[in-house]
Amino acid sequence: MLSRLWKPVIGTAVFVGTPSYLYFKYASHHQSHIRESFDLPVRVKGLDGKAQMTTKTLGLLAKEEVDRKLTECAVQASMTRNGVVWRQATAYVPANDPIEDANASEVLMRDVVDASGLGDLMFFAVMDGHGGYMTSRLLSKVLIPTVALELQRLINHPVENVQKTGTLSGLKERLWPTAKPASTALVPLDADPRLLTEAIQRAFLNLDSEIVDAPLRLLAEEMVKQGEEKQFIPDLSQHHMAQATLNPAMSGSCALMALFDTAHQNLYVACTGDSRAVAGVWEESADGTGHWRVDVLSEDQTGRNPNELKRIQSEHPSSEHNTVIMRGRVLGGLEPTRAFGDARYKWSRDAQAILNHAFMRGSGTSMRSAPALLQTPPYVTALPVVTHRKLSLPTTSNTSNSKSSLRFIILATDGLWDELTSEDAVALVGGYLLGLKGVVPKHTLPTLVPTATSSSSPTIQGKGKSKHPISQVEGEWTFEDSNVSSHLIRNAFGGGDEDRVRQLLSIPTGLARSYRDDVTCTVVWWEEGKGSDGDIKVEKVRLVEEVKAKL
């Protein structure tokens, strides 16, 4: 049913805590041959094991080096399909070493005989790992194929996905059949947002189950090989699949996926965790002018979100209502309330003890211990919240007279949203599409790129305060990057304040995590255009695959 068409893939001092205020101090040098430096306050462990503040002098990167950091992991791609030019820009900047973020994208063509008609399924996803990169990196390889296979089952095996009616209802339908409107009689199942939503949710949950259960399956298989007469737990520390199964289960990752179904002009956004999707909707005025409406398509799923707190409390005994979320975190530890992996919050305490014995005793190390407050797991789920929006693509067959149309979508890990509001991001992309260049005062941008927040957008964002509190109206934005995702990241790190951008990006990975997070951003937009269907243009991409094989 579906074929792959386009798949750009991007390669993916001891400190404690985060200083409450980041203060940089230049060490001035008059000699041209001496590199500029700055003093950075850092928290370190003293000889007594207690945290203390000290100052570390770091070399300051030149602007050219900063520009290279912002663009070396950036890609731009465009493709013409059915009279529409689709454009994608992705960029990422690490703070961890190695980076714990990941991303993926893929476009699947429909067969010409598909009942849904011409169109594609376009997938874009960003993953925000924590506790290591293993889960996010695995998701970058398997999440989109898993969802695509679930959608293919929906289309190829419709009987399994249609809710069965009761005997009496079935008899009534046979005796007194009701005529179905012609417009809905032959609607394909994949045109139904409810069924698509359920399919995406099944795919997410089934994949997480595979990840979390993999170490348990490996242990069970090895115990079966021993025979029933042997009851001891085998030593799997040297097993070739031990770490490959245990690491993705023990680390964790948020996942944010956008699916464009161009045949039915539907957009689905599936969010597990605290990454965020924001759309820019162009609202045209009667006089031909207009403004960008900010449509937030996901709700940050953290312990600070009252909706998530209520959900988790409802899933556990009342005796745990004061402990399931503490200090805005699950059991006082994990910030996102939904995630892949994070088996410490999903396995029982006994299961964790057995797995630790089986997988770790031969290596002389141990797994991270179960959370102290763990009583009735699981506390974390991979079930995504799925949002649906209609598209209005600029095709010759589109006869809509609507003055409102969704024009672009931003998918980003929380490192971007720690520093930018949703409104900032839409205005910055709107200005980029308008062709703005140079430095623009923050208070001036709303007059150049008017924005308004959608009344349907979530009011709960669930994120903490920025590590670098600055006024939202003071300072300057800058428009200098050709890649719109790099443009967003630069402005998140200081924008027109070149010194601040240089300082933040001069902090080496690892140490940088106390001052900024890994940031991954994908922007997708589209416009009417000319060109042959399937024409692909990719700029600055590390690996490009064009595969025609069926799924």
Cβ neighbours of 192 (radius 10 Å): 17
- Residues 30-57, mean pLDDT to the nearest whole number: 79
Q: Does the residue 176 lie in any domain?
A: no
Query: Does the pLDDT value for residue 304 go beyond 70?
Result: yes
Query: Does the pLDDT value for residue 224 go beyond 50?
Result: yes
pLDDT band at residue 217 under the 50/70/90 scheme: very high
Q: Can you give the pLDDT at residue 67? A: 97
Q: Can you give the pLDDT at residue 453? A: 84
Beta-sheet strands, E only, within 233-284? 252-261, 266-272, 276-284
Query: CA 48, CA 63: separation in Å to the nearest integer?
Result: 40
Q: Does the residue 198 lie in any domain?
A: yes
Please name the amino acid found at residue 490.
R
> What domain range is 423 assigned to?
2-157+189-545
Query: CA 475, CA 518: separation in Å to the nearest integer?
Result: 23
DSSP string, 315-334: TS-GGGTTTSEETTEETTTB
pLDDT band at residue 174 under the 50/70/90 scheme: very low
Per-residue pLDDT tens for 525-545? Answer: 999 876 667 666 777 533 333
Q: Does the residue 335 lie in any domain?
A: yes
Query: CA 409, CA 393: separation in Å to the nearest integer?
Result: 14
Q: Can you give the pLDDT at residue 469? A: 45
Query: CA 158, CA 192: separation in Å to the nearest integer?
Result: 12
Query: Does the pLDDT value for residue 82 go beyond 90?
Result: no
- Going by the DSSP 8-state scheme, the letter that residue 403 receives in this structure is S
Query: Does the pLDDT value for residue 235 go beyond 70?
Result: yes
In the chain, pLDDT over 90 holds for what percent of residues? Answer: 67
Cis omega (within 30 of 0) for bond into 371? no
Write the CATH number for 503. Answer: 3.60.40.10
Q: Does the residue 179 lie in any domain?
A: no
- Residues 309-331, mean pLDDT to the nearest whole number: 97
Q: Does the residue 174 lie in any domain?
A: no
What's 377-397 look like in SS3?
CCCCECCCEEEEEECCCCCCC
- Going by the DSSP 8-state scheme, the letter that residue 473 receives in this structure is S
Q: Can you give the pLDDT at residue 403? A: 77
Query: Does the pLDDT value for residue 179 go beyond 90?
Result: no
Q: Which residue has the tokens 């805590």?
A: 17
Q: Can you give the pLDDT at residue 331? A: 98
Radius of gyration from C-alpha coordinates of the chain: 25
Q: Can you give the pLDDT at residue 175? A: 45
Residue 105's nearest CA partner among 145, 74, 158 is: 145
Q: Which residue has the higher pLDDT, 26 or 253?
A: 253
Query: CA 284, CA 288: separation in Å to the nearest integer?
Result: 6
Q: Can you give the pLDDT at residue 438? A: 97
Per-residue pLDDT tens for 276-294? Answer: 999 999 999 888 789 999 9
Q: Can you give the pLDDT at residue 156? A: 80
Q: Which residue has the higher pLDDT, 374 or 9?
A: 374
- Residues 364-375, mean pLDDT to the nearest whole number: 95
Query: Does the pLDDT value for residue 221 go beyond 60?
Result: yes
Q: Can you give the pLDDT at residue 547? A: 27
- Residues 201-214, mean pLDDT to the nearest whole number: 98
- Would you say 497 and 477 are in contact if contact means Cβ atoms under 8 Å apart? no
Please name the amino acid found at residue 325.
I
Q: Which residue has the higher pLDDT, 169 or 365?
A: 365
Query: Does the pLDDT value for residue 242 go beyond 70?
Result: yes
| Token pair belonging to 144 | 């989109």
- State how many domains the chain has: 1
Query: CA 365, CA 370: separation in Å to the nearest integer?
Result: 15
E strand or H helix at 86, and its extent?
strand 84-93
Q: Can you give the pLDDT at residue 225? A: 86
- Residues 6-24, mean pLDDT to the nearest whole number: 36
Burial tier of 183 (Cβ tally within 10 Å: 0-12, 13-18, 19+): exposed
Q: Can you give the pLDDT at residue 9? A: 37
Q: Which residue has the tokens 């404690």?
A: 16
Q: Does the residue 466 lie in any domain?
A: yes
Query: CA 215, CA 362: separation in Å to the nearest integer?
Result: 16
Most confident range (mean pLDDT) of 8-12, 330-334, 455-459, 460-464 is 330-334
DSSP string, 204-235: HHHHHHHHHHHHHHHHHHHHHHH-TT--SPP-
- Would you say 117 and 437 are in contact if contact means Cβ atoms under 8 Å apart? no
pLDDT band at residue 210 under the 50/70/90 scheme: very high
Q: Can you give the pLDDT at residue 404? A: 85
pTM: 0.87
Chain centroid to CA 311: how far? 22
Q: Can you give the pLDDT at residue 44? A: 83
Q: Does the residue 483 lie in any domain?
A: yes
Q: Which residue has the higher pLDDT, 111 or 297?
A: 297
- Would you say 531 and 85 are in contact if contact means Cβ atoms under 8 Å apart? yes
Q: Does the residue 550 lie in any domain?
A: no
How confident is the prediction for the chain on average, in pLDDT? Answer: 84
Helix (H, G, I), strand (E, B) or coil at 440: strand
